[in-house]
Structure 1
Amino acid sequence: MSALPERRLLSLDIEGQRLDGELCLPSGAKGLVLFVHGSGSGRLSPRNQRVASYFHGRGLGTLLFDLLSAEEQAIDELTRELRFDIPLLTARLLGVIDWLAATPTLAPLRLGLFGASTGAASALKAAALRGTRVAALVSRGGRTDLAGEALPAVTAPTLLIVGGEDRVVRTLNRQSGALLRCPHELAVVPGATHLFEEPGALEQVARLAADWFERYLSEAAA
């Protein structure tokens, strides 16, 4: 039986807020995937935890990080406004990316971003601003349209995963894909809706994403 991944709880001061995260590194990790949550989700989301666990089994490290403080999350639950504040979420994400780059034990790991819903827009904007520091990006049911003018500046190979029954977001992702200049693909999970709650749908997402990250985070891709 393979060893369980090393787990480390983090609390970082980013943009004047204390933000919590969980870092998990399997032995000999092929790369590190930073989860970018959106639309009220966070590091404790069962969906995110399931996908992260699958990544560990594929030899990928993960960092699940809340881009809102506990106080901000409480406000957002009432107003639902901060989850759509893409500039705020992007600034927080850039802070985490820069912290990783400045941490000697983590900086050598090639970095992937896994963005969901509105978090995908922040992931795309951050990837555009940090260039080659981001080696790969996957969007799950992402509001990629909210990345706006940043889309043509993204250089990281990007996979857009959408549900076959999530028609509005599927259309938005097709439109976003037309603006990307980096290597990119659109993957449609048949029969899945926005949250991929159908039997087997989230497992398909995890497999597609892990395949993409393994392809672009491996040493051979460096």
Structure 2
Amino acid sequence: MNSTALNYVEEKIVSIELDSVRLQAEIVLPLACQGMVVFVHSSGVGSYSTRNRYLAHLLRKTAGVATVQIDLLTPQEEAIDLRSKHCSSNVQFLVKRLTAATNWLLDYPLTSHLKIGYFGEQTGADAALLAAAENKSAVGAVVSCSGKNCLTQDALSRLQTPSLLIVGENDLPAITTNQDAVEQIQITDKELKIIPNVGRQFKETGAIEEIARLASHWFKQYLSSVSYPQSGANVYKSLYRDRANTQINQQITTIK
């Protein structure tokens, strides 16, 4: 990915209407991005957390992907969930929302030409893996971080999407469950990475950067070699061409 191209980004705050609810998402698209990564957040972690935004920045910079930060719960649902945890711990509920949001992104003009990857953490990781298993043609890669892996053997055996599972060395329960999960996944494009000297929350110095490095390599490998429909690509190129022309005209005016 050319560093100059990465300086040109289009940021969009969009409302995704799904049946009777409306979800908010932030889409950030670098110029000539290769694929798109949808973040599937764990319970209690919103799309606007400093940590998630930093991780998204690193993925855009190192993998050259667009990023989508989406809240799968409405503000009203989040308020209720703070007390009950009913929605954020319900993997099937999150899968339904994630699948609907994915279909929306596949129809949205600025993203319709991009192959989709999922990055999920904890409960969000389980939702990402299950959604990928149920929507084989829509998802090109999954990265699971500290996944609880409460999925059934049948669900994991149906997974056909290249999947990278990341856990911390000090999170022994997660190591065990993720090792079991990798064994249940039938495809060869699967891998378990254990980051040394870190725990479940990855709060240690350099942990986020290592997650980004591993995830970036995975997404570049599986999202960048896709041929895209020209309709979405043409809209995308036109948007940046207009933007670049505007900047050039402004520079000429300044010189005069």
TM-score (norm 1): 0.95
Partner of 2:212: 206
- Contact kept in structure 2, 1:161 and 1:188, CA below 8 Å: yes
2:173 maps to 168
One-letter amino acid of the counterpart of residue 216, structure 1: Y
Which residue in the other structure is 1:216 paired with? 222
Which residue of structure 2 aligns with residue 42 of structure 1?
46
Deviation at 1:125, TM superposition (A): 1.1
Change (3 A) 1:13 1:221: closer
Q: CA deviation at 1:142?
A: 1.1
Q: Is it true that 1:56 corresponds to 2:60 in the alignment?
A: yes
Of 116, 121, 125, which aligns to 1:116? 121
In structure 2, the CA distance between the partners of 1:174 and 1:221, relative to structure 1 (3 Å rule), is farther
Counterpart for residue 137 of structure 2: 132
Q: Of 176, 188, 195, which aligns to 2:201?
A: 195
* Map of 1:25 onto structure 2: 29
* Whole-angstrom distance in 2 between the partners of 1:15 and 1:47: 31
Could you tell me how far 1:221 is from its partner in structure 2? 9.0
Deviation at 1:80, TM superposition (A): 2.0
CA 94–176 in structure 1, closer or farther in 2 if over 3 Å, else same: same
Asked which structure has the greater CA Rg, the reply is 2
Q: Segments of 4+ in structure 1 off by > 3 A? A: none
Task: Tell me the C-alpha RMSD between the 2 structures.
Answer: 1.6
Offset at residue 20 of structure 1 (A): 0.8
Contact 1:31 1:109 in 2 (8 A): yes
For 2:86 and 2:226, locate their aligned partners in 1 and report how far apart those are by CA, in whole Å. 42
Give yes or no for contact 1:132–1:155 (8 Å, CA) kept in 2.
Answer: no
Pair 186,82 (structure 1): closer, same or farther in 2 beyond 3 Å = same
Kindly provide the amino acid, as one letter, of the partner of residue 106 in structure 1.
T
Is there any run of 5+ residues in structure 2 with no aligned partner, and where? 229-256
Taking every aligned residue pair, what percent have the same amino acid on both sides? Answer: 36
Q: What's the CA shift for 1:4?
A: 4.2
Task: Supply the AA of the counterpart residue of 1:29.
Answer: C
Query: Are positions 1:145 and 2:150 aligned together?
Result: yes
1:180 to 174, 178, 185: 185
Q: Distance in 1 between matches of 2:217 and 2:154?
A: 28
SS at match of 2:101: helix
- 1:148-188: per-residue Cα shift (whole Å, max 9, x none)? 53111111100000000011111111111111012100000
Letter in 2 for 1:123: A
Q: How does 1:55-74 map to 2 (within 5 A)?
A: 55-58=59-62, 59-74=64-79
- Cα contact 1:145–1:173 (8 A) shared by 2: no
Residue 13 (structure 2) aligned to one of 9, 12, 16: 9
- State the shift of 1:105 in Å: 3.2
Q: Please say which of residues 76-85 and 134-143 is displaced more in the overlay.
A: 76-85
Q: Give the conservation status (yes or no) of the 8 Å contact 1:134–1:156.
A: yes
Distance in 2 separating the partners of 1:97 and 1:54? 22
Change (3 A) 1:178 1:86: same
1:146 deviation in Å?
3.3
What is the count of residue pairs matched by the alignment?
A: 222
Q: Find the aligned partners of 2:117 and 2:88 in 1 and give their Cα distance.
A: 21
- Which residue of the partner structure matches residue 102 of structure 1? 107
